[in-house]
Amino acid sequence: MSRSVTVRVPAKVNVQLAVGAARPDGFHPLANVFLAVGLYDRVTVTPADELRVTCSGPDADQVPLDATNLAARAAAALAARRGRTGRDAAVHVHIDKDIPVAGGMAGGSADGAGALLACDALWEAGASREELLEICAELGSDVPFSLVGGAALGVGRGELLTPLEVGGDFHWVFAMATRGLSTPAVFREFDRLTEGVAVAEPVASEPLLAALAKGDVDALAGAVVNDLEPAALSLFPELARTLEAGREAGAAAALVSGSGPTTAHLARDAASAARIADALAASGTCRTVRVATSPAPGATVL
């Protein structure tokens, strides 16, 4: 039997997403405070005759299985760096999905990081952590954090990471929307909504960083912010009902996760999270709900 390698990789929530005005290259400078949460994809790579991607799990039919998939791109990028061609570069990448698809929780980025780490182990490529992070940054802005996990501040496009201290666990309820949202479309709407407005240079919130370090739920609830939320709500107004349903159920804070459309509801403890999840599931404002805690470890070979 061919050897295979499986990597578990987490979802993320942005507790701060500060967005600056678009740069000449089209990217937006960010101050992005990531928390990895305990919802995971598992990415398995096995030697094959050609590079191919398969996927199973919730909403697997929405995952691209061609060369545009970040997992396929990650495998090809590492192969190119190591001079692997032909069958030496060919792997079957199987993604067992549990992170929401097109949900603003970096599921695609997680798969890219997972495939990269798995191929490095399968091929015994010996890439350093620095090289892996460099490849991750080439693949996408959220991919480096998917590799690192835990908590981190991302600046630049979000790919330049500084690890952050977290003083305890935070409990979350994630409400999955009835349809997806395109990240580029949300950024375009952000640009439209801020046209003619002086957009401040994004900086990390000191009160938010202090709340994370102390493990203070109430302080974190008062500091969470997502500059993309107005754009996501403009494109998907129904999300406002989901946010309100979470707050009415006792969430300390509720916000759109990243570019959406998943909404994140911060609970004060595990019992509160369970109550909020039940209320959201019964509210008719979302497709499904998931409960998870943060921080969670980054990409891990199983």
Do 94 and 114 touch, CB atoms closer than 8 A? no
Catalytic residues: 12, 142
| Bridge partners of residue 256, in order along the sequence | 263
Whether the bond between 297 and the residue before it is cis, its omega within 30 degrees of 0, is: no
Q: Are 214 and 167 in contact (CB under 8 A)?
A: yes
Amino acid at 301: V
Q: What is the DSSP string of 33-72?
A: EEEEEEEEEEEEEEE-SS-EEEEESTTGGGS--STTSHHH
Q: For residue 200, how many other CB atoms are within 10 A of its CB?
A: 11
Q: Which of 136, 98, 129, 134 is nearest to 114 (CA)?
A: 136
